[in-house]
Chains A and B, each alone.
Chain A
Amino acid sequence: MSEKVLMKGNEAIAEAAVTAGCRHYFGYPITPQTEIPEYMSKRMPQVGGVFLQAESEIAAINMVYGAAGAGARVMTSSSSPGISLKQEGISYIAGAELPCLIVNIMRGGPGLGGIQPAQSDYFQATKGGGHGDYHTIVLAPNSVQEMADFTMLGFSLADQYRNPVMLLGDGVIGQMMEPVEIKEENTKPVEKPWAAVGMHGRTKPNIINSLYLKAKELEDHNNRLQKKYAIIRENEMRWEEIYTKDAKLILVAYGITARIAQAAIDKAREAGKKVGLLRPISLWPFPEPPFSRLAKTAKAFLTLELSAGQMIEDVRLATHDAKPVYFYGRTGGMIMTPMEIYQEITRILDGKEGK
């Protein structure tokens, strides 16, 4: 596929995965991401791939562990409550350093929550999520096109660093339709001499494992992981800036919220208000450099999230609280309008924000 077609965000992920050479999908139905397993159930047999509907999200992520450990380019997808169930497996995958793509199309929580869009899994996605000191690389698309592009990027980053990658979308981008071009790239198979594939002439078995019973060995393993994370921090911070150069107020938003913020910024600029957007694309590693730079030129930051305030902690860390960081959020599946954001902008720039 190389011309633009109209697709749902979830379908774009699935087709991009197939184009990226993913031939193994393990998943479990949950709203609002079910289009992905549905699409895969139809598509995988057409390309000689494997679609398997697991008995649970727990089983699905462990099938991913097995397939990734056996050398395959593999993925799973779910939504918030299902991702919670996968956390144990993700910790094992990170510990055993296996490459895979995990898609979370977020919905409102906590608990069973609801099925409407949210961004309230930011902490879980960016701070590890399961037990132990680890990180997944987290990519946050804000369009159907980026759903496809970041799926491909995710697979290649996963292979490059032998690390799980999470595509963190929300129910809006998952469900909405936009023109998208599935680009033919990143399909090169990667050599995986470490994979458990059967010894086939090797004398030393390949072992996929995260168990280190000796404390010193486990610390060494952790130090190795931390070194890898430092390299990822060095190389893989991604962000986008719009109108930030002269901006007095920097809006910080990712995913669908960044799209809404853009509409509010257009309106603010028309009214002569100097407002810009800093959109983190990689949520881990969090793109710190633009924050310290913009903290010198802007008067304040306004973090916008479909949550009660999670990314704002990283924004405050990245700006070292050099400037006020304000927050506006909606939860439960409620989505902010450009007008609500515009009102926040006005309040802050007119000095009426009491916070």
Chain B
Amino acid sequence: MAEGLFARPKALFDIPTHYCPGCHHGIIHRLVAEVIDELDIQEKTIGVAPVGCSVLAYEYFHVDMLEASHGRAPAVATGVKRVHPDAVVFTYQGDGDLAAIGCAEIVHAAARGEKITTIFVNNAIYGMTGGQMAPTSLVGQVTSTSPYGRDLETAGMPIRVSEMLATLDGPAFIARVAVNTPANMNKAKAAIKKAFELQLSGQGFCLVEVLSICPTNWGKTPLEAVKWLEEKMVPYYPLGVYKDVQEVAK
């Protein structure tokens, strides 16, 4: 192939995805794949796919993968990593998968300092099943199971996963990023890269929460959705680094 300035990452298959128009999963997949390429770890990377919109991630990433049951990806990844400590093991999970049904698994994988990397895609809704309320849905957010808006009295406040996990001693790196602008995409990629690098150097559990849009289930155009992410989600889910062992060490 002639040398080009822009090409598909090796770690991503050249096939169409099933994601909806405007969805950020495609961008996030690409960033993860670029990092796998740049670190030259495709041969020893093992991914774990969740249940949710990214359930078919194993068809897109060009690495060995396991499909986990709903919420259990961190437990599955733990099993894999304990068998192959030298492999690079990552989970790719949505907010229903990770913050609802899989809350125990992510908390304990983080608490154990399990040397895996989790890419946590937070779009504040259950996408795959058609737009139900998630633990991350904002107060007042209308979904198919909160038709009057998320009610604080009955559903409580949304869970801030990064802040919660950052209270534990096990994690080496926790950051929240977004891919709504090119600048933020660069920051997101840097965070994802760091989350893989720290696994490679055996530092401990790493998680990157990526705020994402769901135009289909939010009932918005992609541009409206990006605006909603910026105006509603980012204020409740501030971007930034919540835990970094390297910063602590300085």
Contacts and interface: CB of A to CB of B under 8 A. Distances in A.
Given A55-B108, A67-B80, A70-B79, A197 B72 contact: no
B245 interface: no
User: Quick one: which of A24, A198, A210 has the most chain B CB within 10 A?
Assistant: A198
Contacts of A24: 79, 82-83
Nearest to A196: B64
Interface residues of A, number: 39
Contact of B66 (A50, A54, A89, A207): A207
Contacts of B44: 198-200
Interface stretch (A57-65, A162-170, A279-287, A290-298): A57-65
Nearest to A74: B79
A67 B108 CA distance: 17
Interface string B88-130: 1000000000000000110110000000000000000000000
B58 A66 contact: no
B31 interface: no
A197 B66 contact: no
B69 interface: yes
Contact of B46 (A89, A96, A198): A198
A221 to B, nearest CB: 13
A74 to B, nearest CB: 7
B37 to A, nearest CB: 13
A89 B69 contact: yes
Nearest to A26: B79
A334 interface: no
A197 B43 contact: no
Contacts of B105: 55, 58-59, 62
A196 B67 contact: no
Contact of B69 (A62, A63, A205): A62
User: Quick one: which of A59, A88, A92 has the most chain B CB within 10 A?
Assistant: A59
Contacts of B58: 205, 207, 209
B123 to A, nearest CB: 21
Contact of A66 (B56, B61, B64, B66): B66
B75 A63 contact: yes
A268 interface: no
Contacts of B69: 62, 65, 88-89, 92
A211 B76 CA distance: 16
A84 interface: no
Contact of A58 (B42, B72, B88, B107): B72
A304 interface: no
Nearest to B49: A209
B159 interface: no
Given A55-B105, A92-B69, A196 B46 contact: yes
Given A59-B72, A205-B64, A198 B104 contact: no
A206 B67 contact: no
Given A89-B72, A207-B58, A207-B66, A196 B80 contact: yes
Contact of A199 (B64, B68, B83, B104): B64
A210 B68 CA distance: 9
Contacts of B67: 96, 207-211
A72 B43 contact: no
Contacts of B78: 52, 59, 63, 66
Nearest to B61: A205
A50 B82 contact: yes
Interface in A206-246: 206-211
Contact of A56 (B76, B88, B104): B104
A70 B104 contact: no
B233 to A, nearest CB: 29
Interface in A179-214: 196-201, 205-211
A332 interface: no
Contacts of B76: 62-63, 65-66, 69
Contacts of A69: 66, 76, 79-80
Contacts of B43: 198-201
A197 B46 contact: yes
Nearest to B44: A198
User: Quick one: which of B43, B68, B72, B80 has the most chain A CB within 10 A?
Assistant: B80
A250 B104 CA distance: 50
B64 A63 contact: no
Contact of A208 (B56, B66, B81, B108): B66
Contact of B87 (A59, A60, A197): A197
User: Quick one: which of B58, B61, B72, B75 has the most chain A CB within 10 A?
Assistant: B75
B79 A64 contact: yes
A72 B83 contact: yes
User: Quick one: which of A74, A89, A199 has the most chain B CB within 10 A?
Assistant: A199
A174 interface: no
Interface of B: 42-46, 48, 55-56, 58, 61-69, 72, 75-84, 87-88, 104-105, 107-108
16 contacts: A50-B83, A59-B78, A59-B104, A63-B76, A63-B78, A66-B78, A66-B83, A72-B83, A74-B79, A88-B69, A89-B72, A196-B64, A196-B80, A200-B43, A209-B67, A211-B67
Interface of A: 24, 26, 50, 52, 54-56, 58-60, 62-72, 74, 88-89, 92, 96, 196-201, 205-211
